[in-house]
Amino acid sequence: MNKNEIISALKTIIQPYSEETLALENIDENTDFIADLKINSANLVDIVLDIEEEFKIEIDNDSMAKMLTVKATVEIIDSKLNAGK
Amino acid sequence: MNSNRVVITGLGICAPNGTTIPEFTNAIKNGISGITHQPDLEALGFSCQIAGKPQLSEERIAQYFTPLELRNLNSTGIIYGVVAGLDAWKDAGLEKSDDEEPDWDSGTIFGTGTSGIDKFRWAINKIDDMEIRKLGSSVVIQTMASGVSAFISGKLGLGNQISTNSSACATGAESLLLAYERIKSGQAKRMLAGSTSDSGPYIWGGFDAMKVCTFKHNNEPEKGSRPMSLMASGFVPGSGAGALVLESLDSALARNANIYAEVLGGHLNSGGQRGTGTMTAPNPMAVQRCIQKAVENSGIQLHEIDVINGHLTATSKDALEIENWKIALGSSADNFPYINSLKGMIGHCISAAGSIECVASVLELNQDFIFPNINCEDVNPEITTLINKNRIPQTLIKKSFNILAKASFGFGDVNVCLILKKYTHE
């Protein structure tokens, strides 16, 4: 799965948590979950659970703490996906 | 010290026999039961397999919650409370506050006994299955006792006191009294008062095990809840929510609001589990004192009470309650006020009982009727030795009256009595 495919899947996961339709439409590596998408910080753990389910990976606490932007999140998903290979 | 008059300007309901004010009004006027057979209780081997549960479609619920909130929502009490609470606010002609600043003059006291018991069970099972991580963010907000008031206040943007009271079956009536006092003392202009109670086996199970619920009417649900009846054999569990917007008279008049009734005052106390009072039985001295103090605080005379909306759950305590009213009011068998119990139609809605019954009481005062008692055509002789049978209406009475007393009593030997008055635009 390449970076664009991960971002596209991520966009679908995030959609229910954000009411910022324009920012969501233009989501890219630089998008910040809280600053740009105005996601309630309490919901970040729910997004991580949805990511785990979608990508069939497990995300540890240290990685979870870093998942505040699309860039960091894609990198973590990518590394977990490739960890088993 | 401030001493504002307090009136009721909005009503919302989520009861087993009606989830809108028009539907509920029609149901209580016509003695329509909301008690039904519950297959889940039967499957789990409950002694009492009938209960009162509000009927809400998914489409209706979706009008009150966002899709994200609905995703993991597993708290019937929060659903009922939000539906009743938001409906009451709208009924009062009030709007949500704007997006930036809350409404500092409006708050809520919305009580409950427990919150999100189904969600709590789900979370406990996850934890025990070594899946703590899977709980996500929705467990705390649905299982904290104040979940219901937190959901309501966020949706409306309320900026005054936001709290959840809990005093067992007196919770609903207590929420009104606490809201009344806050407005009377000038600390708020408007308070959404109410209470809610979850549905289902996990909330009702403990009562079933205590053998305080009836097990004799599983095949005739609508006949099962029998306050004041000779055949009364325990209460039928219920659930739901009632909500009332309390407002200072000045605020209501200033915005030309529809006024349903006035809260003259009330009182709450405890029997301290002394004398014959226990964890589960009321101390008669405290009940009588509560009624008398409520009347005194309201500035009326004992004989001015026209109608009593009783606690009257359909246990052996019904006759004792009537004796307490009679002694407290100093009345005779013939001049005892009319008395009714909504529990014949909807069962005992536990922490929601008081608020649902207050909504019914306000409708009676406002629309000039006294709803019929159902399932007590065979009034218990212990009661008819105290008061004339004609004090217990068996059919709808259309009548304008002035003053209604509402009382609720709860485990822990706690009592609340409220005095409501018809509002006559004076």
- With a cut of 70, which residues of chain A have pLDDT below it? 84-85
Give the nearest partner residue to A43 out of B67, B134, B137, using CB atoms: B137
Which residues, listed in sequence order, are joined to residue B407 by a DSSP beta bridge? B417
Q: How far is CA B71 from CA A29, A53, B43, B83, B281, in A?
A: 27, 15, 27, 17, 41
Say which residue the tokens 């018991």 belong to.
B117
Minimal CA separation from B74 to chain A, in Å = 16
**Domain containing residue A75:** 3-83
Q: How far is CA A65 from CA A45, A46, A73, B84, B257, in A?
A: 9, 13, 10, 39, 51
Say which residue the tokens 């009606």 belong to.
B18
From chain B residues 325-384, the ones with a CB under 8 A of any chain A CB are none
* Dist. CA B318–CA B369, nearest whole Å: 23
From chain B residues 62-101, the ones with a CB under 8 A of any chain A CB are 67-68, 71
Q: Tell me, what CATH number does A14's domain have? A: 1.10.1200.10
Q: How far is CA B63 from CA B14, B67, B210, B257, B387, in A?
A: 14, 10, 38, 25, 47
Minimal CA separation from B68 to chain A, in Å = 6
* Dist. CA B329–CA B420, nearest whole Å: 16
* Dist. CA B83–CA B64, nearest whole Å: 7
Which chain B residues are within 8 Å of A42, Cβ to Cβ?
137
Q: Is B133 on the interface with A (CB under 8 A)?
A: yes
What pLDDT score was predicted for residue B172? 98
What pLDDT score was predicted for residue B359? 98
DSSP B314: S
Number of domains in chain A: 1
Q: What is the ipTM of this complex?
A: 0.88
* Pairing mode of beta strands B106-112, B162-163: parallel
For B132, the closest chain A residue by CA position comes to A49
Q: How far is CA A43 from CA B72, B115, B275, in A?
A: 12, 21, 52
Minimal CA separation from B69 to chain A, in Å = 10
- Residue to mutate among A15, A21, A45, with most B CBs inside 10 A, is A45
What pLDDT score was predicted for residue B98? 86
Q: How far is CA B233 from CA B210, B279, B400, in A?
A: 13, 20, 34
What pLDDT score was predicted for residue B212? 96
Contact by Cβ (8 Å): B337, B387? no
Among chain A, residues having any CB pair with chain B shorter than 8 Å are 16-17, 42-43, 45-46, 49
- Residue to mutate among B66, B70, B72, B133, with most A CBs inside 10 A, is B133
Each residue's pLDDT expressed in tens, for chain B with a length of 426 residues: 568 999 999 999 999 999 999 999 999 999 999 999 999 999 999 999 999 999 999 999 999 999 999 999 999 999 999 999 999 999 999 999 988 999 999 999 999 999 999 999 999 999 999 999 999 999 999 999 999 999 999 999 999 999 999 999 999 999 999 999 999 999 999 999 999 999 999 999 999 999 999 999 999 999 999 999 999 999 999 999 999 999 999 999 999 999 999 999 999 999 999 999 999 999 999 999 999 999 999 999 999 999 999 999 999 899 999 999 999 999 999 999 999 999 999 999 999 999 999 999 999 999 999 999 999 999 999 999 999 999 999 999 999 999 999 999 999 999 999 999 999 876
Task: Look at B136 and A46 and tell me if their CB atoms are within 8 Å.
Answer: yes
Task: Look at A17 and B68 and tell me if their CB atoms are within 8 Å.
Answer: yes
Number of cross-chain residue pairs from A and B with Cβ atoms under 8 Å apart: 15
For A43, the closest chain B residue by CA position comes to B137
Task: Look at B136 and A45 and tell me if their CB atoms are within 8 Å.
Answer: yes
